[in-house]
Amino acid sequence: MKADTNEITKRKQRGAMVTAAIVAAVAIAIFSMTLILSGK
């Protein structure tokens, strides 16, 4: 049972890392677009 709990936790943590990476990429893209569109 202990291993199962750890497995679920580990899977959730990996999911969190992937989510965080995607959201951070979106933020960086919005920042870049602000500069690019303002310079046109």
Partner 1 sequence: MATTTTEIEADIHAHDDHHHGPEPGLMRWVKTTNHKDIGYLYLWFAFSMLLVGGAMAMVIRLELLMPGLQYVEPQFFNQMTTMHGLIMVFGAIMPAFVGLANIMIPPMIGGPDMALPRMNNWSFWILPFAGAMLLSTMFMEGGGPAFGWTFYAPLSTTFAPDSTDFFIFAIHMLGFSSIMGAINIIATVMNLRASGMKYMDMPLFVWTWFITAFLLIAAMPVLAGAVTMMLTDRNFGTSFFDAAGGGDPVMFQHIFWFFGHPEVYIMILPAFGIISHVIPTFARKPLFGYSSMVYATGSIAILSFVVWAHHMFLTGMPIAGQMYFMYATILISVPTGVKVFNWVTTMWKGSMSFEIPMLWAVAFVILFTIGGLSGLMLGIVPADIQYHDTYFVVAHFHYVLVTGALFSIIAGVFYWLPKWCGNMYNEKLATIHFWWAVISVNVLFFPMHFLGLAGMPRRIPDYSLQFADFNFIASIGGFAFGLSFLLLAYIVVDCIRSGKPVKENRVWEGAKGLEWTLPTPAPYHTFTEEPSRELVLKESNHTAH
Secondary structure of residue 10 in the 3-state scheme: helix
Distance, C-alpha 12 to centroid of its chain? 13
Q: In sequence order, what DSSP letters do the residues of 11-25 get, joined into one string?
A: HHHHHHHHHHHHHHH
Which 8-27 positions form the footprint of partner 1 (CB under 8 A)? 8-13, 15-17, 19-20, 23-24, 26-27
By CB under 8 A, residue 5 contacts partner 1? yes
By CB under 8 A, residue 4 contacts partner 1? no
Could you list the residues that contact partner 1 (CB under 8 A)? 2-3, 5-13, 15-17, 19-20, 23-24, 26-28, 30-31, 34-35, 38-39
